[in-house]
A and B are shown apart, each in its own frame.
Chain A
């Protein structure tokens, strides 16, 4: 900056520096201040969001590996990915670790007499929370003044986030029951009331109906949120553990949540043995 000799000039320069410093600090991710939703003093999280990782295959570190279906070649193979689990360790109780390994072995098994066998995502069952967040499909956040609606493209899954008059879950659900609140600019959602039938990923990581998830969505820039989820389940894990990842805004013009009603893509898989005439 050009040297300024006059007192007014130095004052102006100091003010200018202070303003520049404030602006540049605001530009740092830690103190990004998102635009407010009209009529509220909360950040506007409306938009189409998507995770960009391979946690949907396995939330822990995983190497590239073949898929289960030879005919699918590279389409069906598992890509490599780094853990979204902080510390890369899931603190299973001993019985639960054995169960996870069994889940993994039978993840593509369909049993017409037992709906609980095999990966629920494979069968287009509702994915639960937090799995719905990091499936390879976008989801839309519809944020109103006192309620939010999350609409996931996968299986047309959805959940309402109650921001007022929090009630305990009236029943047990695949997508749980979500009570939300704001902590500053972070949307904090406590999810309980799970039925215990969803998994965390395709690797067989699972939970019981005692699952409690606390999610945190924090706007970091106009284009991404930081997502964190703390997992607690006293029947399955020996302590709480945490996953985290960025969620990216889908910014292409006219970005739209499309439809993936996958039930019809799984009927042959689930009911195929019950056809009158078997398919060739």
Chain B
């Protein structure tokens, strides 16, 4: 073969190779019409980029308390009859219609709008300590908790963070009367959680990057996630010093574990570590149930008539008192 021919063929081969590369999609994957799911088990469902699929709208409402009531003593679980009774009681409470319509007006209307959820079949969300109650508080922790429970009327600073429309759901998530909804959306390298109340999004990077420095203190903390098998483990710290979770503030670290149990259920386990508040870490667990949705916008601060009227009312009463 002549030298010019050899060089020309080499050039042609390279040119063809480049043309071949340009034609292949950069991801190197065949495009699919939509996400494919493992046919065998929803619990093993994966996103196309290979992460366990936790996506969907989830409801974490429950009437089961965080701490076991004293009346339950050593009992960790409820019988099916007790669960049915509790759920029926909650449903009746939600549809309470008072016989006297004037009294009905006083409470605005019946309570159909409550959406607390049902019993999870246990006496508490806390599973460790085994007695279903917080471990002992430190003196400092107890003091802070009591202080933060006091509500005054001098200004908005005396009100709870949720009344100020500043933070509604702490980390870990705590169920309440309604809007106990969360939508999980995943992307390569991220899990994002949209909390309906109050429209916040927790962005959880999965790439192992370090937490932000200590000077950055978000109200919802700074989260980092990783997979342990099919479980998403999220570690959150750097909480704002004025945040409040059962008395715990900026010193807490929260470890959450999300596992898809089946198509309709996510298991949510949470461990709270704050040596300045509790003498040891404690752990709770609750199922999140799939919800039809959609997630609604919860605009709180935009029309916070509650705060406005509370302060106006307090000033009015003071003026009235002075006038006496």
Contact = CB atoms under 8 A, between A and B. Distances in A.
A149 B185 contact: yes
Interface string B1-15: 010110111011011
B190 A8 contact: no
Contacts of B16: 15
Residue from the set A41, A156, A174, A197 with the largest chain B CB neighbour count within 10 Å = A156
A238 B84 CA distance: 60
B190 A142 contact: yes
Interface stretch (B94-102, B113-121, B139-147, B192-200): B192-200
B188 interface: yes
B322 to A, nearest CB: 12
Interface in B164-213: 164-167, 183, 185-190, 192, 194, 198-201, 203, 205, 209-210, 212
A11 B7 CA distance: 12
Interface string A9-30: 1011101101100110010000
A267 B318 contact: no
B59 to A, nearest CB: 16
A37 B192 CA distance: 16
Contact of B296 (A16, A170, A267): A170
A271 interface: yes
B203 to A, nearest CB: 5
A23 B296 contact: no
* Interface size of A as a range: 35 or more
A131 interface: no
Residue from the set B2, B200, B209, B302 with the largest chain A CB neighbour count within 10 Å = B302
B154 interface: yes
Main secondary structure of the interface of A (DSSP, over half): loop
A234 B296 CA distance: 26
Interface stretch (B20-28, B64-72, B227-235): B20-28
B48 interface: yes
B5 A39 contact: no
Contact of B154 (A23, A120, A170, A277): A277
A166 to B, nearest CB: 12
A241 B215 CA distance: 44
Contacts, number: 203
Interface stretch (B126-134, B253-261, B278-286, B306-314): B306-314
B8 A9 contact: yes
Interface in B292-317: 294-297, 299, 301-303, 307-308, 311-312, 314-315
B217 to A, nearest CB: 9
Contacts of B198: 156
A220 interface: no
Interface string A150-165: 0100001110101000
Nearest to B167: A261
Given A38-B188, A257-B203, A146 B34 contact: yes
B32 A8 contact: no
A256 interface: yes
B15 A16 contact: yes
Nearest to A274: B311
B5 A40 contact: no
A250 to B, nearest CB: 13
A23 B308 CA distance: 62
Interface in B29-50: 29, 31-32, 34-36, 47-49
A157 B199 contact: yes
Contacts of A148: 185
B18 A274 contact: no
B218 interface: yes
B220 interface: yes
Interface in B99-117: none
A39 B29 contact: yes
B154 A36 contact: no
Contact of A125 (B34, B156, B185, B302): B302
A115 interface: yes
B205 A256 contact: yes
Interface string A130-157: 0000000000101111111101000011
A15 B32 CA distance: 32
A35 B19 contact: no
Given A38-B188, A258-B216, A274-B315, A170 B32 contact: no
A112 interface: yes
B55 A15 contact: no
Nearest to B57: A160
A12 B31 CA distance: 32
A15 B188 contact: no
A11 B29 contact: no
12 contacts: A9-B8, A12-B9, A15-B16, A16-B14, A144-B185, A151-B192, A158-B200, A261-B166, A261-B219, A274-B315, A276-B318, A277-B154
Interface of B: 2, 4-5, 7-9, 11-12, 14-16, 18-19, 22, 25-27, 29, 31-32, 34-36, 47-49, 55, 153-156, 164-167, 183, 185-190, 192, 194, 198-201, 203, 205, 209-210, 212, 216, 218-220, 294-297, 299, 301-303, 307-308, 311-312, 314-315, 318
Given A36-B26, A46-B190, A174-B297, 12 more contacts: A8-B5, A22-B22, A37-B48, A39-B31, A39-B35, A115-B303, A148-B185, A157-B199, A158-B200, A173-B297, A263-B166, A263-B301
